[in-house]
Amino acid sequence: MEPITLLENKHIVLGVTGSIAVYKAVDLASKLTQAGALVDVVMTQAAREFVTPLTFQSVTGRPVYSDLWHRENEAGLGTHIAHVGLGEGADLLVIAPATAHTLAKLAHGLADDLLSVTALASRSPTLVAPAMDGGMYQNAATQANLETLRSRGVIVIEPEEGRFASGLAGKGRLPETAILLGHIRLALGKSGAMAGRRVVVTAGGTREPIDPVRFISNRSSGKQGYALAQAALDAGAEVTLITTVRDLPLPLGARTVPVGSAAEMLQAVLDHLEGADALMMAAAVADFRPKTTARQKIKKKDNSDEAPTLTLTRTPDILMTVKEHRAQAGWPRVVVGFAAESEHLLAHAQATLARKGLDFLVANDITAADAGFEVDTNRVVILTAGDAPVPLELSSKTRVAEVVVERVAAHLS
C-alpha cells in the first residue's frame, strides 16, 4: 500500500465493536497505517471476544484502548483522560464494524464504555459502518437509530448484500477495506482546496469501431486519469469521470460516465461540462477512426489472401470544441490538456498549449521506459500559459495528479 497524501499524519480513531466483521477492521487499521495515518483503536468488550487488542496494536504500532477504568498501557494515555484526549485530537472517528447495539447507544447518547464515551465527547466528523445480520439491520429500531445519526451529520456507510456467518443472506455485511477507505478519504477531503468545485476528468484511450467486434485504440491505461479523479476527490471536488476504461477500480465518490469512441467522449464532455470549474483531458483520444463502421462482423474469405483496406478519417477534437464553447459560455474556468510526445517534447507541447487555448498542459516523454503508458510512474513537464515550463522529477501518477490538482485549485482561487 502506497502512502496517501491526504491520510499522512491524520489522526483517526477507529472504534471496533463486536461483530465477526472485526477481521476486516484489522485490515482497515493496517491499510490506514500503511497509508500514513495515526490510528488509535478503541475496542468494545464484545470486540475483544473476536480478536485481541494485540492484533490491532501490531498493525498500528500504537496502544489500543478499551477499558474506561484502568490504565492499561504505560505507553498510552491514561484512560481517565483517554475519552477526552482521543476524541478531541482526532481528525476523524470511524466506527467499523458498528453493531446494532453500539448504533443504538450512539443514537441515544448512552456512554457506558470507552468507545461510547469517546464518541459522545468527540467533535470530529464521524463515520459508522453498520455490520450485522440482515434482520437486525432492517429492523425499524436500527433504521430509526441510523436516521437519527444521519440527521446529526454522522456519515453512514451502507452495508452490502451477501451471505452472513449465520448462513442467511441479506443486507448487513461490512464493505471491503477499499470501500471503507474511499469513504474515509471523502470525509477527510471535504474541506480541501477544491471543496465546492466541479471537475470533469477524461481517462483512457478511445475505441474507434471497425465492426461490432473490432476497434482501433491505443496503449493508454487510464491510470493518470483515474489518479487525477482521485486527487480531485481528495481535495474535496465533485468529480465526473468520463472513461473508456473497464478494468481499473473506480475512485469512490466520482460520478462515472462510460464511453467508447471519441465522438461519444465529446458528447459526454459537452453533456457534463455545464458550470464546471475544470476540465482535465487525460484521455488519449484517437485522432483517426475508420471512415465507416461495418454493421456486421467483417468475415475473411476462404482460400483467399484478400484483406480489407481501412480508410481512416479524423475524429472530432474535443479540446478544440471546448475552446470554442468556453469562449462563449465562460466555462470550464480551467482547462488542462495532456500530451504524449516522442520527440521535441517542449516545442510540441508549447504549440498544443497555445493552439488548444489551455491553462495547463502536462507533457510526457513516452520514450522513457519508466514513464508513459501502462507503468505507474510518469516523467512530466507542466506547462502553464504565460509561464516557464516546470519539469517534475520521476513521480508516481498519483503524485503527478496531486501536483496538477494543486495548481488547478490555486488557479481557481
Burial of 48 (0-12, 13-18, 19+ CB in 10 A): middle
CB of 330 to ligand CTP, least distance (A): 19
Which one, 55 or 352, has the nearer CB to ligand CTP? 352
Which one, 19 or 315, has the nearer CB to ligand CTP? 315
Query: CA–CA separation, 252 vs 255, rounded Å?
Result: 9
Query: CA–CA separation, 233 vs 5, rounded Å?
Result: 12
Query: CA–CA separation, 262 vs 286, rounded Å?
Result: 7
Query: CA–CA separation, 326 vs 324, rounded Å?
Result: 5
Query: CA–CA separation, 379 vs 16, rounded Å?
Result: 42
CB 152 within 8 A of CB 146: no
CB of 269 to ligand CTP, least distance (A): 8
Which one, 37 or 319, has the nearer CB to ligand CTP? 319
CB of 355 to ligand CTP, least distance (A): 7
CB 208 within 8 A of CB 221: no
Q: Of 200, 237, 241, give the one whose Cα is nearest residue 222.
A: 241
Which one, 189 or 337, has the nearer CB to ligand CTP? 337
Which one, 79 or 352, has the nearer CB to ligand CTP? 352
CB 150 within 8 A of CB 156: yes
CB of 283 to ligand CTP, least distance (A): 5
Residue nearest to ligand CTP (CB): 318
CB of 411 to ligand CTP, least distance (A): 17
Which one, 135 or 209, has the nearer CB to ligand CTP? 209
CB of 100 to ligand CTP, least distance (A): 49
Catalytic residue check, 378:
no
Q: Of 412, 313, 293, give the one whose Cα is nearest residue 359.
A: 412
C-alpha cell at 367: 520514450
Residues near ligand CTP, by CB under 6 A = 262, 281, 283, 285, 287, 315, 317-319, 337-340, 352
Query: CA–CA separation, 386 vs 390, rounded Å?
Result: 12
Give the position of cell 453500539.
Answer: 102
Choice among 9, 218, 364, 378 that is catalytic = 218
Give the position of cell 488542462.
Answer: 336
Burial of 348 (0-12, 13-18, 19+ CB in 10 A): middle
Kind and range of the H or E run holding 59: helix 53-60
Q: Where are the alpha helices (DSSP H) in 307-396?
A: 318-329, 345-355
Which one, 160 or 287, has the nearer CB to ligand CTP? 287
Q: Where are the alpha helices (DSSP H) in 90-208?
A: 100-108, 114-121, 134-138, 140-151, 177-189
- No. of helices (H) and no. of strands (E), the chain: 14, 22
CB of 201 to ligand CTP, least distance (A): 11
Which one, 29 or 203, has the nearer CB to ligand CTP? 203
CB of 318 to ligand CTP, least distance (A): 3
CB 257 within 8 A of CB 245: no
Active site residues: 218
